[in-house]
Chains A and B, each alone.
Chain A
Amino acid sequence: MISQFFILSPRGNRLIARDFLHEIKENSTEILFNKLEEENFREFLPAFHQNGTNFIFIPDSDLYFLATSKSNISSSFIIDFLNRIITSIKDFCGRIDEDIVINNGPLIYELIDEIIDYGFPQNTETESLRKYIWNTVVLTSNEDKKHQKTKRTQSIVSRKASKKPIPNIYSSEKEYNEIFFDILEDISVSFSNDGTLIAGQLNGRVRVKNFLSKITLLTIQMNDDLHIGEFKNQLGPGIHISDALFYSKCDSSEFESEGILKLVPPKGEFELMKYRMSGNSIDIPYRIFTSMEEIDKNQLEITVKINSEYPESIVAIPAQVCFKIPEYVLSVNCFLSGNDHYQKAKFDKQTNQVIWDFQRFNGGRHETLRTAFDESKVFNPTRWIRKVTKSKSYIAWLQ
């Protein structure tokens, strides 16, 4: 199973090191770090094999989480397990970064020793871990402490509210009786230049962070107009989800018929649900139209138009549009249609990109950017502009 576990700083220092099986002689962390250096710290394969040892690692919050093994284990198992360890540390420490790990070494070792025994996964559920954890979290910045003490009003909850540690049961800290649901969606869309959808994909997840002090049965009722399954034909009204996957201890038997989920939520953070929407079932938040025109022999003009399909009440803060310009172009003139101080467009020669920034982008608005540049070299621009709209997360609080 897992032979060693490490947490490494961005500079390769070992912040946490636990050798369970004592079977790997080489210095695993150095091997990983050399590999990272070889690849210039670009993202590379999360698993590799060297001299009989398998290295599986995950970069997260500027740290590296590494597990090594001598056996041909399931890659997904180790990857998901490492992710679970990260979540557990976040549960007990509120968040995770280099300072937190340095200051909470004993706590994290306590956790690791309960989660893994001799390389075999044990308990990873926050609630049952709590009684085995004796150390209390040491928070570093004043901000965190202040944040813990401030009383929050009912209506406004800061994003940090869910990033607080779960106290161990021996602590005198008062428990908050609240539960957070984050609905996080990533949209990937590609448009053709006339704004029609080539491919669209929405991946959503419902992340729950549970601070409820009592064990409660939770019933979650979805919208009535929720439909599940791959739809080939014309879609009717409502929300159409292609597929949904659930937390392992969640009763989803009534989900398809009634849209009901039942569970006793475990303490701390867990992923309740993953879902996927595709093609026409996605409400595209922004549509992008592009055109390219040769003004004269050497002048090329690219126009980008963005329409927000949101109602006016929804504002994006901030938003950014970028596209690449051929490397030999020295300067680009940008003309904005709107003349407000919320947006600006500029050409960044270093990255050869035109960057169009919005401090805020109101729902229902249409904005256009026209750019012109010298195109003295013969070049056949097949389609080197790619329009990828990536949403930021949408957060909704339920209390």
Chain B
Amino acid sequence: MSKPDPYDYRQLLQSTSSNDLTKRRDVLQKIIGAMTLGVDVSSLFTDVVSACQTTDIVQKKMIYLYLATYARKKPSLSLLAINTLHNDCNNSDPMIRGLALRSLSSLQHPKLIEYLPTPIRAGLVDKAAYVRRVAVISTIKLYKIKETLVKGSDIITKLYEMLRDIDAQVVINSIVALNEILMDEGGMSLNRQIMIHLLNRLDDFTEWGKIIVLQLAAKYAPESEQECFDIMNLLENSLQNVNSALSLAAAKVFLNMTEDLPQLKQQIYERLKIPLLTLSLGSHKESSFSVLKHIFLIATQFPTIWQDDFKKFYLRMNDPDYTKKIKMDILSVLTTQKNFKEIIVELSHYVTDPNNSPEIAKYGITVIGRITIKLPLWTDIVVVQLFSFIELEISYLTESVLSILKDIIRIHPDSAQEFFNEFKRIDIQTIKDPEAKASLIWMLGEFGQNFLDAPYVLEAFVEDYKSEQSYFVKIQLLNALMKLFFKRPPECQKILGKLLDLATNDFSHVDVHDKAIFYYRLLSTDFEKAKKIVLSQKEELRNFVEEDLTELHEKLMFEFNTLSVIYGKPYDQINLQKKKIEDEYEDDEDEDEDEDEDEDENEDENSNENENENENENSNENSNEDSSEDDNLLQNQNQNLNQNQNQNQNQNQFVSPTKKQDLLGDLYSEPPKKTTQEHILEKVAEINPQSYQQKWVNIQNQKTHKFQLQSKIQNKSDFEKKLISNRIFVMASGVVGNQLKIYTYSQKSQTNYFVLIEIIVDLNQNFLNATFKSEDKSFLLLFIDYFQKNIVSN
């Protein structure tokens, strides 16, 4: 669509005679159309306003619409329209009077304010209900421009009087106006008389009007129990309504009325049960969703109400994803020992159903995890089910399983071994989700003592350290390797050294860096104490703090039937994000400091909530705490630990352990393996891990070769035997996914020169990738030849 030029419209407007109704309407329609699209046609203001004097109501309406949009931009020109509007306010046709008053009051500009009060006051006592309705709403507009013109004036008294107007909509508008104008005082003041009067007229109001009266009733505190019952009986019909907003508004009154009558609560919830269920299954997706959110909230308070109806919340094929999620949430709340198996089976179908989006499949796994933590008696069944998802070898399912497994294993540590039995099915390369990675790493650190490959799996993560984006994964990696190091020192020492080296030089996230420094110092200060600290006994877990959302749900019950329920957060937490943004960017005056403080507190809660899934470790190791301890440690011990390093340091105040790996190396050294043979290589070679590592880093002469293996490597240990029998000794080895990784060393006969190899075998493709390093460059080629003959071809 080409952009319309306002100038063309002006010409059109001027060239059409005001008598030619069709043409003039057509031009105005085009102008309104351009305005709607967002084209600025305010330059036509004078022309449009001068067309205002028409008697054609269709044109008038379009001109008023134009005025309402642009008047605030052109206050001085709006004066041109005021005369016509004033005249129209006295027109004999009530519809014209109403329209004119509505437009006049929407020219909200302080300059025009003096023209407003008189027609509004006249409108409030107009004989036509249509005009009174408009006049009542206009008082709000007046109030918004200048409070003092309304507050404390006779208008308020008049509005209270109008609560008894014969026109139902005038009554509703008066409630709305009083609520807006008296918002600071908590809205319209309410007494028994007014309340009973409004409730008795309930049938006169439109459904929207009813809702407004019910919102008032929800704020009303009945004087006696009897009154409470009377009101609830009056509202019985509203509950049974096709309009879900009306039903929920009635539900809120019921809930509030019985706030102090706990013996009635159960009965009230029983009353809500069936209508809400029917509304939640209706055909409007959005309406149903809103009701489902409220069912979820009520169910968190009183799970027994819908417990027998849990099947009604089974997913339907054509439910949108957001509905599917809330239904699964509801199922998780309704799970009992009795229906546990049935619900787990149903949820498992959602996970494997190819019609469901990955998001829903993943959510199904999350909910299964949540239920299992809630009812830990059945963990065995669930763990088997979860492993069956891993067997499908779909990476996003595996990731989700990993994410929830850590929580299950924390409650049920026996599952760890079963998990490691399944481990071979997981292709680590496909795990991309930081939470899944972190969870896997945590499990390896915590339970890796019984899992042969644990150090090598972690090594793979260390190898990929530089490409890792998530600081949380890095922190978990540090934690896990520290733990595993104390359980299996020989295998982990080198890897940990490398990780500490990487992490202490990693300035991408301060927590990672600080934690690495902290661990490093811990190790170098007192090995035994470090072990005690890192491997401290944990208390048995029953509940997770973050699963305990009772408080949140109780708060939300106070905000029943508002958007907070949809967002799942109290509104002050949601709206505060906006305040924060304003503070940052708009640089508002610091008027209310007290309020700000409160907000910060809330915000902390809020962010905890957001990250609760990521921060499961909090209870054991608070990374922030660690960092501060770390600082102290640094300050106290900086000097003596830095002695031999001072010359290496620039401005950097932190100590990098790069060159100090021997410190770690002394902690443990592996006994050498001995075999007998002869050849170009010494039959016995001895090297300890830390000097191996040093050599690996320092030796510059290296060659990389790729070989195609003749026969498939069936067994890791057989292959290692073959290496050893050829005087190539194994330093470390491990299988990660499809890769077999081996580090070897050999000693050139009659010399002190070593040859080191990093062998990576792709077990699927039968490729062997080897990086050879030797201090003797000339020997390297000879050795590679030897390697090919004896290892690859043989």
Chain A contact residues, CB within 8 Å of chain B: 1, 13-17, 19, 22, 42-47, 49, 51-54, 56, 58, 72-77, 79-81, 83, 102, 105-106, 109-110, 113, 117-118, 120-125, 131-132, 134-135, 184, 186, 188, 190, 198-199, 201, 203, 205, 230, 242-249, 252, 271-276, 278, 324, 352, 379-380, 382-384, 386, 388, 390
Contacts of B320 in A (CB 8 A): 43-44
Is A276 a contact partner of B61 (Cβ separation < 8 A)?
no
A to B CB contacts below 8 Å, 24 in the list: A44-B321, A47-B567, A52-B578, A58-B286, A75-B562, A75-B563, A76-B245, A76-B287, A80-B245, A105-B33, A106-B32, A109-B65, A132-B95, A199-B314, A201-B312, A203-B278, A203-B281, A242-B274, A243-B274, A245-B240, A248-B246, A382-B348, A383-B352, A386-B317
Is B564 a contact partner of A72 (Cβ separation < 8 A)?
yes
Q: When A123-B169, A230-B274 are in contact, do A79 and B245 touch as well, CB less than 8 Å?
A: yes
Distance (whole angstroms) from the CB of A286 to the closest CB of chain B: 15
Contacts of A190 in B (CB 8 A): 314
Contacts of B176 in A (CB 8 A): 1, 120
Whose C-beta in chain B lies nearest to the C-beta of A109? B65
- Leading 4 A-B pairs by shortest Cβ distance: A52-B578, A43-B320, A121-B208, A388-B317
Is B349 a contact partner of A205 (Cβ separation < 8 A)?
no
Assess whether B102 is interfacial by the CB under 8 Å rule.
yes
Taken together as a complex, chains A and B put the C-alpha atoms of A42 and B289 apart, in Å, by 16
Which residues of chain B from 269 to 295 have any CB-CB distance to chain A below 8 Å in the complex? 274-275, 277-279, 281-287, 289-291, 293-294
Taken together as a complex, chains A and B put the C-alpha atoms of A155 and B293 apart, in Å, by 45
Contacts of B69 in A (CB 8 A): 19
Which residues of chain B from 581 to 612 have any CB-CB distance to chain A below 8 Å in the complex? 581-582
Interface string of B192-231 (1 = CB under 8 A from A): 0000000000010011101100000000000000000000
Q: When A44-B321, A52-B575, A72-B563 are in contact, do A16 and B36 touch as well, CB less than 8 Å?
A: yes
Is A75 a contact partner of B565 (Cβ separation < 8 A)?
yes
Assess whether B173 is interfacial by the CB under 8 Å rule.
yes
Taken together as a complex, chains A and B put the C-alpha atoms of A203 and B282 apart, in Å, by 6
Contact of A134 (CB < 8 Å), options: B36, B57, B206, B577: B57
Interface string of B560-572 (1 = CB under 8 A from A): 0111111100010
Whose C-beta in chain B lies nearest to the C-beta of A247? B242
Taken together as a complex, chains A and B put the C-alpha atoms of A274 and B281 apart, in Å, by 10
Most buried by B among A76, A186, A244, A390: A76
Assess whether B353 is interfacial by the CB under 8 Å rule.
yes
Distance (whole angstroms) from the CB of B703 to the closest CB of chain A: 40
Q: When A43-B321, A203-B281, A243-B277 are in contact, do A123 and B206 touch as well, CB less than 8 Å?
A: yes
Taken together as a complex, chains A and B put the C-alpha atoms of A121 and B211 apart, in Å, by 11
Taken together as a complex, chains A and B put the C-alpha atoms of A135 and B287 apart, in Å, by 31
Distance (whole angstroms) from the CB of A272 to the closest CB of chain B: 8
Assess whether B165 is interfacial by the CB under 8 Å rule.
no
Q: When A14-B38, A247-B242, A386-B355 are in contact, do A83 and B284 touch as well, CB less than 8 Å?
A: yes
Whose C-beta in chain A lies nearest to the C-beta of B58? A134
Is B290 a contact partner of A388 (Cβ separation < 8 A)?
no
Q: When A45-B322, A201-B312 are in contact, do A275 and B278 touch as well, CB less than 8 Å?
A: yes
> Which segment, of B132-140, B432-440, B631-639, B692-700, faces chain A?
B132-140
Is B290 a contact partner of A76 (Cβ separation < 8 A)?
yes
Taken together as a complex, chains A and B put the C-alpha atoms of A121 and B210 apart, in Å, by 11
Is A77 a contact partner of B211 (Cβ separation < 8 A)?
yes
Whose C-beta in chain A lies nearest to the C-beta of B134? A117
Distance (whole angstroms) from the CB of B606 to the closest CB of chain A: 13
Is B207 a contact partner of A383 (Cβ separation < 8 A)?
no
Assess whether B261 is interfacial by the CB under 8 Å rule.
no
Assess whether B163 is interfacial by the CB under 8 Å rule.
no
Assess whether B248 is interfacial by the CB under 8 Å rule.
yes
Taken together as a complex, chains A and B put the C-alpha atoms of A201 and B317 apart, in Å, by 12
Assess whether B249 is interfacial by the CB under 8 Å rule.
yes
Contacts of A79 in B (CB 8 A): 244-245, 284, 286-287, 290
Distance (whole angstroms) from the CB of A9 to the closest CB of chain B: 10
Is B321 a contact partner of A106 (Cβ separation < 8 A)?
no
Taken together as a complex, chains A and B put the C-alpha atoms of A324 and B317 apart, in Å, by 13
Distance (whole angstroms) from the CB of A276 to the closest CB of chain B: 5
Taken together as a complex, chains A and B put the C-alpha atoms of A198 and B241 apart, in Å, by 29
Contacts of A81 in B (CB 8 A): 208, 245
Query: Which applies to chain B's interface (DSSP): helix, strand, loop or mixed?
Result: helix
Interface string of B676-687 (1 = CB under 8 A from A): 000000000000
Chain B contact residues, CB within 8 Å of chain A: 25, 28-29, 32-33, 35-38, 57-58, 61-62, 65, 69, 72, 95, 102, 106, 108, 133-134, 137, 140-141, 169, 173, 176, 203, 206-208, 210-211, 237-238, 240-249, 274-275, 277-279, 281-287, 289-291, 293-294, 311-312, 314, 316-318, 320-322, 348-349, 352-355, 388, 391-392, 559, 561-567, 571, 574-575, 577-579, 581-582
Contact of A384 (CB < 8 Å), options: B245, B286, B318, B352: B352
Contacts of B33 in A (CB 8 A): 102, 105
Taken together as a complex, chains A and B put the C-alpha atoms of A276 and B281 apart, in Å, by 8
Distance (whole angstroms) from the CB of A368 to the closest CB of chain B: 22
Contacts of B562 in A (CB 8 A): 72-75
Q: When A47-B563, A73-B563, A386-B353 are in contact, do A246 and B274 touch as well, CB less than 8 Å?
A: no
Whose C-beta in chain A lies nearest to the C-beta of B284? A83
Whose C-beta in chain B lies nearest to the C-beta of A51? B578
Is A76 a contact partner of B561 (Cβ separation < 8 A)?
yes
Is A243 a contact partner of B275 (Cβ separation < 8 A)?
yes
Contacts of B137 in A (CB 8 A): 117-118, 120
Contacts of B317 in A (CB 8 A): 188, 386, 388, 390
Is A47 a contact partner of B566 (Cβ separation < 8 A)?
yes
Is B242 a contact partner of A43 (Cβ separation < 8 A)?
no
Is B36 a contact partner of A17 (Cβ separation < 8 A)?
yes
Distance (whole angstroms) from the CB of A185 to the closest CB of chain B: 10
Taken together as a complex, chains A and B put the C-alpha atoms of A113 and B248 apart, in Å, by 27
Contact of A105 (CB < 8 Å), options: B32, B278, B321, B354: B32
Distance (whole angstroms) from the CB of B145 to the closest CB of chain A: 12
Whose C-beta in chain B lies nearest to the C-beta of A30? B38
Taken together as a complex, chains A and B put the C-alpha atoms of A81 and B102 apart, in Å, by 22
Distance (whole angstroms) from the CB of A184 to the closest CB of chain B: 7
Q: When A75-B565, A245-B241 are in contact, do A83 and B278 touch as well, CB less than 8 Å?
A: no
* Given A117-B102, A120-B173, A199-B314, 20 new contacts (CB under 8 A): A14-B38, A45-B566, A52-B575, A72-B559, A72-B562, A74-B248, A75-B561, A76-B287, A79-B244, A79-B286, A80-B245, A102-B33, A109-B32, A134-B61, A199-B311, A203-B281, A242-B278, A274-B279, A383-B352, A384-B354
Q: When A73-B562, A245-B279 are in contact, do A42 and B321 touch as well, CB less than 8 Å?
A: yes
Contacts of B246 in A (CB 8 A): 80, 248
Distance (whole angstroms) from the CB of A69 to the closest CB of chain B: 8
Most buried by B among A13, A106, A113, A242: A106
Q: When A43-B321, A109-B65 are in contact, do A75 and B207 touch as well, CB less than 8 Å?
A: no
Whose C-beta in chain B lies nearest to the C-beta of A270? B242
Taken together as a complex, chains A and B put the C-alpha atoms of A173 and B567 apart, in Å, by 48
Contact of A74 (CB < 8 Å), options: B106, B245, B578: B245
Is A118 a contact partner of B106 (Cβ separation < 8 A)?
yes
Taken together as a complex, chains A and B put the C-alpha atoms of A179 and B211 apart, in Å, by 29
Contacts of A118 in B (CB 8 A): 106, 137, 140-141
Is A248 a contact partner of B207 (Cβ separation < 8 A)?
yes
Is B278 a contact partner of A245 (Cβ separation < 8 A)?
yes
Most buried by B among A131, A230, A245: A245
Whose C-beta in chain B lies nearest to the C-beta of A42? B321
Is B72 a contact partner of A22 (Cβ separation < 8 A)?
yes
Contacts of A14 in B (CB 8 A): 36-38
Taken together as a complex, chains A and B put the C-alpha atoms of A43 and B566 apart, in Å, by 16
Distance (whole angstroms) from the CB of A41 to the closest CB of chain B: 12
Distance (whole angstroms) from the CB of A196 to the closest CB of chain B: 14
Is B578 a contact partner of A248 (Cβ separation < 8 A)?
no
Contacts of A246 in B (CB 8 A): 240-242
Is B278 a contact partner of A117 (Cβ separation < 8 A)?
no
Whose C-beta in chain B lies nearest to the C-beta of A383? B349
Taken together as a complex, chains A and B put the C-alpha atoms of A162 and B481 apart, in Å, by 71
